[in-house]
Structure 1
Amino acid sequence: MRLRTVLATLTAGLAAATTLTAAGPAAASANSPGGHACSPAVTLDGFSDSLDKTSYDGTFTGNLSALAPDPDGTLAALSDRSALFSLDRRTLEPRKVVQLADEKGAALDAEGLVIDRDGTRLVTSETEPSVRRYDRDGRLLGRLPVPAPLQVAPAGRAVVNGTFEGLSWADGGRALLASMEYALSGDAAGTVRLQTWKRHGAAFTLGAQYAYRADAGLGVPEVQALPDGRLLVLERGFTAGVGNTVRLYLADPRRASDTRDVEHLTGQAGVRLVRKTLLADIVDCPSLGATAKQPQPNPLLDNIEGMAVTGRAPGRPGTFRVTLVSDDNQNAVQTTRFYFLRVRTR
Structure 2
Amino acid sequence: MPLRTPLALLTAALTAATCLTAAGPAQAHTRHDCSPAVSIDGYSDALDKTTYENTYVGNFSALAMDRDGSLAALSDRSSLFRLDARTLKPRSVVPLTDENGTALDSEGLAVDRDGTRMVTSETEPSVRRYSRTGRVLDRLPVPDALRVSPAGRARPNGTFEGLTLLPGGRTLLASMEYALSGDDSTIVRFQTWRRTPHGHFTLGAQYAYRTDPGLGVPEVQATPDGRLLVLERGFTSGVGNTVRLYLADPRGATDTSGIDTLPARPEARLIKKTLLTDLVTCPSLGATAKQPQPNPLLDNIEAMTITGRTKNTLRVLLASDDNENKTQTTRFYALRVRTTT
Alpha-carbon offset, residue 32 of structure 1 = 5.2
Question: Which residue does the alignment assign to 1:230?
Answer: 227
Alpha-carbon offset, residue 21 of structure 1 = 2.1
Distance, in Å, in 2 between the alignment partners of 1:341 and 1:90 is: 15
1:55 lines up with 2:48 in the alignment: no
2:326 to 308, 332, 343: 332
Question: Which residue does the alignment assign to 2:143?
Answer: 147
SS of residue paired to 1:187: coil
Question: Which residue does the alignment assign to 2:204?
Answer: 207
Question: Which residue does the alignment assign to 1:188?
Answer: 184
User: Cα deviation per residue 1:133-191 (whole Å; 9 max; x = unaligned)?
Assistant: 10001011110000000000011000000000000001421110000000000000110
Question: Which residue does the alignment assign to 1:312?
Answer: 309
SS of residue paired to 1:67: strand
Alpha-carbon offset, residue 20 of structure 1 = 4.5
1:263 to 250, 260, 283: 260
Question: Which residue does the alignment assign to 2:5?
Answer: none
AA at the equivalent of 1:244: N
Distance, in Å, in 2 between the alignment partners of 1:233 and 1:117 is: 22
User: Cα deviation per residue 1:223-247 (whole Å; 9 max; x = unaligned)?
Assistant: 0011211100000000000000000
Mapping for residues 65-80 of structure 1, pairs under 5 Å: 65-80=61-76
2:337 to 335, 338, 343: 343
CA contact (8 A) 2:39 2:337 kept: yes
Alpha-carbon offset, residue 267 of structure 1 = 4.8
User: Cα deviation per residue 1:106-132 (whole Å; 9 max; x = unaligned)?
Assistant: 100000000112210000000000000
Question: Which residue does the alignment assign to 2:3?
Answer: none
TM-score under structure 1 length normalisation: 0.91
1:322 lines up with 2:316 in the alignment: yes
AA at the equivalent of 1:338: F
AA at the equivalent of 1:173: G
CA 1:180–1:28 in structure 2 vs 1: closer, same or farther (change >3 Å)? farther
Q: Which 4+ stretches in 1 moved above 3 angstroms?
A: 17-20
Q: How many residues align?
A: 324
Question: Which residue does the alignment assign to 2:8?
Answer: none
CA contact (8 A) 1:199 1:205 kept: yes
In structure 1, list runs of 5 or more residues that go unmatched.
1-16
1:92 lines up with 2:88 in the alignment: yes
TM-score under structure 2 length normalisation: 0.93
1:106 lines up with 2:95 in the alignment: no
Question: Which residue does the alignment assign to 1:14?
Answer: none
AA at the equivalent of 1:161: N
1:135 lines up with 2:140 in the alignment: no
1:216 lines up with 2:210 in the alignment: no
Mapping for residues 156-195 of structure 1, pairs under 5 Å: 156-195=152-191
CA contact (8 A) 2:62 2:75 kept: yes
Distance, in Å, in 2 between the alignment partners of 1:289 and 1:35 is: 15
Mapping for residues 19-38 of structure 1, pairs under 5 Å: 19-23=16-20, 28=23, 33-38=29-34
User: Cα deviation per residue 1:26-45 (whole Å; 9 max; x = unaligned)?
Assistant: x748x753220000000000
Question: Which residue does the alignment assign to 1:9?
Answer: none
CA contact (8 A) 2:113 2:169 kept: no
Distance, in Å, in 1 between the alignment partners of 2:312 and 2:175 is: 24
1:298 lines up with 2:292 in the alignment: no
User: Cα deviation per residue 1:28-79 (whole Å; 9 max; x = unaligned)?
Assistant: 48x7532200000000000000000000010000100000000011000000
SS of residue paired to 1:85: strand
In structure 2, list runs of 5 or more residues that go unmatched.
1-13
Q: CA RMSD in A?
A: 1.3
Distance, in Å, in 2 between the alignment partners of 1:19 and 1:143 is: 34
SS of residue paired to 2:168: helix
Higher RCO (CA < 8 A, seq sep 6+): 1
Distance, in Å, in 1 between the alignment partners of 2:143 and 2:271 is: 20
